[in-house]
Amino acid sequence: MNSGSLDAPIALLLSGGLDSCILLGHLLEQGRWVQPFYVRSDLVWQREELAAVGGFLQAVDSTRLRDLVILDLPLRDLYGDHWSVTGRDVPEATTPDNAVYLPGRNVLLVVKTAVWCQLHGIGELALGVLRSNPFADATDAFFDDFESALARAAGNRVHIVRPFAGLDKRQVMALGKRLPLDLTFSCISPAGGIHCGICNKCAERIAAFRLIDVDDPTEYAAGQVGMK
C-alpha cells in the first residue's frame, strides 16, 4: 500500500479521526518515519480534535514519530456563517455524506502542508482518504493535478499519497483494531468536550465500530442514537 523508502520520512495530515489515526499506526507498522501535521482552522471541533491528536500521538509513541507540526489556516473569515464556524444547524445523523462537505477543504488542508514538505525536503504527504470518499476534491485526478501545480511552482515534487484509497471503512477499521481508537475524535458538534452522538460524523463513527463488531469505546453525550 505504499512505495516509499523506509528511511525517507512521510508527512501525514492528522485530523484526530479514525481514518487518519489508523493510517498513522499503519505507516509506523510498516517501518516508516512519520512527520505528523494538524491544520488549525478555528472550526467548532478544533479544541477536541487537537486534544485527540495529542493524546493519540502520545499513546502510539514511537522513535520513528516526529514531533507534531501545527499549521494555522484560520477559515472563519472565509466560511462566514457556515455551520462549521457557528456550530448551528450541523448536519445530523440522517443527512447524506455530502452534507458535511467543507468548501475547498482538501486544497486548504494540503496546500500549506505540502509547501512545508517542499521546504523541508519531504517527498511524500499521506492523507487518510478512503475509497468511499464522495467528494470531487478527493479523486485521483484532483490530487494528480494539485501535485503537478505545486511541483510547477516550486520544482521539487511532493507526492500526495492515499494508502487507504482502495479500502472501505470496514477494512480500515480492521487494520486499526488494536490501536487506541478510544483516543480518536470524529464529532462536528462536540457537547461538553465529548462526542455529541447525533451529528453526521458521530453516526459514521458509531457505524464504523459496528462494522468490525468491536464495542464502541466512545462516550456520546446523547448515547448511541446515530446510525448511518
Q: Which stretch binds Zn ion (CB under 5 A): 109-117, 120-128, 139-147, 187-195?
A: 187-195
- Using CB under 5 A as the binding criterion, the count of chain residues that bind Zn ion stands at 5
Using CB under 5 A as the binding rule, whether residue 181 contacts Zn ion is answered as no
Using CB under 5 A as the binding rule, whether residue 52 contacts Zn ion is answered as no
Using CB under 5 A as the binding rule, whether residue 208 contacts Zn ion is answered as no
Nearest approach, Cβ of residue 153 and Zn ion (Å): 38
65 vs 196, beta carbon nearer Zn ion: 196
User: DSSP string covering 39-69, please?
Assistant: EE---TTHHHHHHHHHHHHHHT--TTBPPPE
97 vs 123, beta carbon nearer Zn ion: 97
CA angle 115, 120, 125 (to 5 degrees): 60
**Measured between alpha carbons, how far is residue 46 from residues 116, 123, 201 in Å?**
21, 28, 14
Using CB under 5 A as the binding rule, whether residue 196 contacts Zn ion is answered as yes
Using CB under 5 A as the binding rule, whether residue 202 contacts Zn ion is answered as yes
Question: Which residue has cell 462549521?
Answer: 84
Task: List, in order, residues 6 or more apart from 192 with CB less than 8 Å away.
Answer: 221
Give CA–CA dist 127/61, Å, rounded: 20
18 vs 196, beta carbon nearer Zn ion: 196
145 vs 219, beta carbon nearer Zn ion: 219
Using CB under 5 A as the binding rule, whether residue 93 contacts Zn ion is answered as no
Sheet bearing 10-13, strands edge to edge: 69-72, 34-40, 10-13, 124-126, 159-161
106 vs 189, beta carbon nearer Zn ion: 189
Using CB under 5 A as the binding rule, whether residue 130 contacts Zn ion is answered as no
Nearest approach, Cβ of residue 163 and Zn ion (Å): 26
Q: Binding Zn ion by CB under 5 A: which of 10, 126, 187, 206?
A: 187
75 vs 202, beta carbon nearer Zn ion: 202
CA 148 to chain CA centroid, Å, is 22
Taking Cα atoms as reference points, which of 161, 138, 126, 159 lies closest to residue 12? 126
Angle, helices 105-119/140-154, rounded to nearest 10 degrees:
40
Which chain residues interact with Zn ion by CB under 5 A?
187, 189, 196, 199, 202
